[in-house]
Structure 1
Amino acid sequence: MGGFDWDDLRFFLAVARAGRLTIAARRLGADHATVSRRVTSLEAALKATLFERRPQGYALTAQGERLVVAAEAIESAALAAASDIGGSDLALSGAVRIGAPDGFGTLFLAPRAVALAERYPELEIQLVAMPRLLSLSKREADVAIALSPPKEGKVVARKLTDYRLALYASPSYLAAAAPIRSAEDLSGHPLIGYIDDLIITPELDYLDEIAKGLRPRLQSSTLVAQMQCAMTGAGVCVLPHFMAAGRPELAPVLPQIQLNRTFWLIVHAELKDVARIRATVDFLVRETRAARALFLPE
């Protein structure tokens, strides 16, 4: 450890998070030459190459990936000590990437993320709201919301909330279409749903639970697009209550038919105690609990 300067870890983390010297320097209030010198000094002290220098930026090597975990643990301990001694909130900084299904991410989380940003002005929040499972092991996301807990991998999962889905259509469609008195009547109506070979998890394949053999005529890979189609009168769609609630463009169809699913909150085991991740997880849990009636209406 001769010649190792702990403060170099701040510069290393800034470059690891930003991917570019200029951005890291701006966040640190230093010039890019200083940042480059401190990173090079750390590599020399550790006798390891931490970054691949590319024209488009700095990419972590395998050794760099390993050091990020240790450096963030040190950063978290330092922040916690400062908070405990100084009696102030953690001064979080850096990026946190949240992966979520498009409906939850776009319509529930995005409007609430401003509260997290206001509480931690130095925190860079990256919201990836898309119908795809993001890999925590590949660091595609730091925190993920999923419809089922992972069966393998070095991750920690906890139930975030159950939520309810039902059938919806626009009032104009229902006024013009044949009456829908039972699930069997749905076969005579255009249904809106997922594209079969792009369904990312079995939990989204729910039409057969309503009535055997139902097939969507209008298909999309995203739930937000399906909702937009239903709102414009294209047919009947299965939607979560938290997306449909309060929208006059949507009316319930066969309200006695309801489906339940679960959102799971997943974090890589090595990141669960990192301050910025812990604060983000606490925020997600708190906001979801506060909106329980939106996910599970009485």
Structure 2
Amino acid sequence: MDNWDDMRVFLAVARTESLSAAAPLTKMDPATLGRRIARLERSLGAALFVKSPQGYALTDLGERMRDRAADAETQLSLALEESRGTTNALTGQIRIGAPDGVANFLLPQVCAALQLDNPDLEMQVLALPRVVNLSRREADMAITVSLPAAGQLIVQKITDYQLHLAMRHDAAPVETLADLKSRAIVGYIPDMIFDKELDYLGDLGAGGVQLASNSVVVQLQMIRQAGVGIVHDFALPFAPELRRILTDQIALTRSFYLVRHKSARQSDRLTRVAHAISAGITAEVARLERMACLTDSPLV
């Protein structure tokens, strides 16, 4: 690569695997990005991407270059961080990858509060119905619902959270698990459950899933219309039509973990943001779960 701008363009396309998705990150239009990538490949005398209608997939050389370029980007960020000197204010851009439940119901409040205290900090939330790939530098840190199996990562537990069955206040009562057989069950699309900790419905004995989505936000909207499903307690304050049911029979506990690439250990800025995000999510889960307890009785 001739300059850092080439690296920035290459990394944006490598991470998004799409010219259109990389365009807003680079503030360039897709056609310009395509020409920049083609010029870079000509200068190297080798292909970095396999182009197809589905997008831009990295070649073996492209994967090696992505890893090297990402490491160089990290070192540059650390150097810039040191050049600013020590300051209490957080600055720069931070991208957090998270499942859509966290991204919709917890991170907006946490990130807004953190940014309010640090006006020069730019917070980005990457909401994905899959595990975020930190090795590919898709994000600076990620929230997961299970411990990573492998990788050169820094992992810290954030907090436990609760899930229960929920349905509309005005629906016919469900008094036993057997009653669920006559109700439409809302849940994940079975072959799109990306983490074993999200496979909630196996022990309910309710049969199949009649209303399904890979998004917990869509599932919540389905339950607001009709049916019964597992809902995060912290999401219930956002759906006042719903109440928890069978809480003495079905009560699930899961955990959130904050995961960073090992190189983040060198950055005081990322460490401080990680601690702030962890503390914020812990407090927000506790606050919203207290509110959720109020939904158990029908509205009057």
TM over 0.5: yes
CA distances 1:239-278 after superposition (whole Å, capped 9, x unpaired): 0100013642111111212111111110001123324422
1:76 touches 1:273 (CA, 8 Å); kept in 2?
A: no
Question: Once the 2 structures are TM-superposed, how far is the Cα of residue 296 of structure 1 from its aligned partner?
Answer: 5.5
Change (3 A) 1:130 1:24: closer
1:208 to 202, 225, 235: 202
Aligned length: 252
Change (3 A) 1:246 1:67: closer
Write out the 4+ residue segments of structure 1 that deviate beyond 4 Å after TM superposition: 11-20, 59-63, 295-298
1:99 touches 1:141 (CA, 8 Å); kept in 2?
A: yes
Aligned residue in 2 for 1:199? 193
CA distances 1:140-198 after superposition (whole Å, capped 9, x unpaired): 111100111111111111111100000111112x2xx3x31111211111111000011
Aligned equivalents of 1:282 and 1:160: distance in 2? 9
Aligned equivalents of 2:90 and 2:141: distance in 1? 20
1:278 to 231, 251, 271: 271
Question: Once the 2 structures are TM-superposed, how far is the Cα of residue 284 of structure 1 from its aligned partner?
Answer: 0.8
Aligned equivalents of 2:26 and 2:246: distance in 1? 55
> Does residue 249 in structure 1 map to residue 245 in structure 2?
no
Structure 2 stretches lacking a partner, 5+ long: 14-21, 28-43, 49-61, 294-300
Alignment of 1:252-271 (within 5 A): 252-256=244-248, 257-271=250-264
Aligned equivalents of 2:147 and 2:115: distance in 1? 28
Question: Once the 2 structures are TM-superposed, how far is the Cα of residue 17 of structure 1 from its aligned partner?
Answer: 8.9
> What is the TM-score normalised by the length of structure 2?
0.72
**Structure number with larger C-alpha Rg:** 1
Aligned residue in 2 for 1:180? 174
Change (3 A) 1:90 1:294: closer
Aligned equivalents of 2:245 and 2:205: distance in 1? 18
Letter in 2 for 1:191: I
Aligned equivalents of 2:153 and 2:285: distance in 1? 25
> Does residue 121 in structure 1 map to residue 119 in structure 2?
yes
> Does residue 238 in structure 1 map to residue 230 in structure 2?
yes
Structure 1 stretches lacking a partner, 5+ long: 1-7, 26-47, 53-58
Name the % identity. 30
What secondary structure sits across from 1:271 in the alignment?
A: helix
1:161 touches 1:262 (CA, 8 Å); kept in 2?
A: yes
1:68 to 54, 67, 73: 73
